[in-house]
Structures are given as structure tokens and as C-alpha cells.
Amino acid sequence: MKARVTEVESFPVSIPFRIPFVIASGAYLNNAEYILVKVETAGGAVGWGESSPMPAFSKESQEDVHRTLLKKIQPAVVGGNLEHVQELLDKVSLAAPGSPYARAGVELALRDAYARMQGVPLYTTLGGKKQEKAEAVWPIGLGPNRFLEEQVKWARNHGFKEVKLKVGHEPKKDLERIGIARELMGRAAEIRIDANQGYSERDAFYVAGRLDGVHIFEQPVAREKLDVLRRLRGASKARLMVDESCYSPADALDVVKAEAADIINIKIMKAGGLGPSSDIQSISAASGVPNCLGSMLETGIATAAGVHFYVSSRNIGLRTEIVGPLFLEEDVVRGLSIGGGALSVPSGNGIGVQVVESKVKEFSQKKHD
């Protein structure tokens, strides 16, 4: 049977970051310590996926993901029929219910292989292309003002019309940083800020009332404080977006019932793949809450999949954050275009990019050196 899954491989890689990235809950590592996943069928169809855990954000480490893939997910998938891809995805969910990052890695690979086997782009299997490109926002981590100025100028010079500033440590300094960014970007550009749960309730209200020229205020307080988030919506000059408060479709239901957000940020990794991400989107849309597509600073593999998800969506209109490849010293794919502050839809079947396996093996070897 050509559609029988014969192999699921897990490649732990270590790819240097070229730009430091610090958020209120901690710093990214010096290297992207991710897992790249390869799925192959008896008929030769190959799909690639990615898991991008980050210790300051995710509950899973690279080692956790690798172990889960090999011990729990691989046995559940190998031997299965890719023609019935949803059955395989259900098996993945049952095999590793508490490991969304691991599930996301193999889910993306299975969906890529399935679309390639069908001879269609991934977005076709997600409901079709509804947008032609994905406009992006440039995220800027915490750091000294000089770093902020350099990053804002870089974003402006490379066509980005919006920046996202990480905040959440010192409210007065954060407001100063917003002013610097506004002066450099100009009045026509947009600014959003993200505290990554870093503020106390008091500090969050202090900042919320002073956000002149900011259009989105993301996750100001701890994820479980839905009542505080609801009250902040009324106090903030910017729309309130949640991220850490929504990992799953069940979380999305809780958020909309509590009226705790104007926007829900979807991250494919923390949701556990495109399936749960689509469920979050459906719940949000039915409740009149728009979505944003966030990022874990992934490689070109998950970024390409994210572009397909973005352009197939009816509820994601905000600029996306999936610009991870620009933060890396080197990527592992060819065929991904990021320019002028936007991502083009990769041409070709599946996720549409070519994975350079020699690079995968090179960065995997560096991990073991």
C-alpha cells in the first residue's frame, strides 16, 4: 500500500540565532533548539514538520519532544494509512494528549505528506486560499534603547508597517520605549505591545490607560486572570489580545465566555497543530473575536505551513508574526519568500518549500557535537 506510513524521523537541531530575543518570562536560548520531523510513505511521499519549544514559554523542552515523538507518537503512526490522514491525526492526539509541541511537529509532517501525495498545496486541504499573501509585523525583544532603535530602523527600512514591542518589566521604561518606536516608525505605522504575563494587575492598568498610539495590548497579566483581562478591556486605549490564556480550543471557549479578549492569538505550536488551531479559529469566529497568527520563531518549515494556514483563514486579518527565519543565522529550506514586510505563499505542493536535508543533518550534527 503506497499510502502506508513507513517512517517517522525526529531530528534535534541547533541553529544559531542572529538576533537576541528576550521576553518578560525569559530569554530565548542562543540557538534554536528545535525538532524537525520527517514522515515517509511506502510510495515515496515525504512530509516535513517542526516542533519549536522555547523554555521561557513552553512546558516542553527539545528533549521532551524528541522522547515523546520516538516513544509515543512514532508507534502510533507507523503502519497507518495516510489516505485517512484524520484517523492518523486522531491517533497522534490520543498518543500524546499532554504534549502539544510534539503533536504539532508530526501533524505538520503528516499534513505536508498528505497534500504532496494528493498533488495540491497545503492550503487546498485547509479550505482553499482566501488571501494572496501574509502581511507581517516585526517583533522586538526586550533590551536597551539602542537595541530597540536599531531594530525599529531595520523593520522600517525592510518594509514592515508595524512593530511588536516586548514589554512587561518596568511600566515607565516600557512607555518610554513605545515613544521611541513611535518617533522612529512615524505616525502612519502601527505598534502593538506584548507583556507575556509580566505585569501585576496594578501595573497593567497603569500602562493600559497610557497607550496613546498603540493598537494592541497583548497578555498583560497571568493567563488564568480572565476577570482582570475583562476589566482591562474597558480600561485600555488599545485592543486587548490574549496569547498564553489560550493554548487549546477549551481555553478559547473560556476566554470568549469570560469576555476576556478583543483578539485571540493562535500559535500553531502551543495549540498542537493546524487542527486545534482551526478549532480555536472557529470558536473565535463564531463569537465575533478576530484572531492573530503568532510565532515561536520557527524555521522555514513551520513558517511555510503557517503561511498556508494564514491565507486559508477567514478570521485572521491582523499582521502575522511568523518571521522566524529572519531571526536565524541560516534556514533549512529553499523557496520561502519574506520581503517588503510580507510573506508570499510558497509555490508547489504541500507546504511548498524544499527542505535541504544536508542542512538538517548539519544542524543536527552540531547539536550532538
User: What backbone phi and psi angles, to 5 degrees, belong to 247?
Assistant: -95, -25
The domains of the chain, with CATH numbers, are 5-121+356-364 (3.30.390.10), 125-354 (3.20.20.120)
Question: According to the model, what pLDDT value does residue 358 have?
Answer: 96
Q: What is the DSSP string of 296-355?
A: ----HHHHHHHHHHHHT-SSB-SPB---GGGGBSS-SEES--EETTEEEPPPSSBT--EE
Spans of the chain, pLDDT less than 70: 366-369
Q: Is residue 210 classed exposed, middle or buried when 0-12, 13-18 and 19+ CB atoms within 10 A define those classes?
A: middle
Q: Per DSSP, which regions of the chain are E strands?
A: 5-16, 22-23, 26-27, 31-41, 46-51, 133-135, 138-140, 162-166, 190-194, 216-218, 239-242, 263-266, 291-293, 333-334, 338-339, 342-344, 354-355
Interatomic CA distance for residues 52 and 49, integer angstroms: 10
> Residue 222: its pLDDT value, please?
97
pLDDT of residue 367: 67
Q: Residues 53, 268: contact at Cβ < 8 Å?
A: no
Q: Tens digit of pLDDT for each residue in 273-323? A: 999 999 999 999 999 999 999 999 999 999 999 999 999 999 998 999 999
**Distance, CA of 150 to CA of 29 (rounded, Å):** 21
Residue 296 cell numbers, joined: 515561536
Q: What is the pLDDT of residue 187?
A: 87
Question: What pLDDT score does 96 carry?
Answer: 97
**Above pLDDT 90, what percent of the chain?**
93
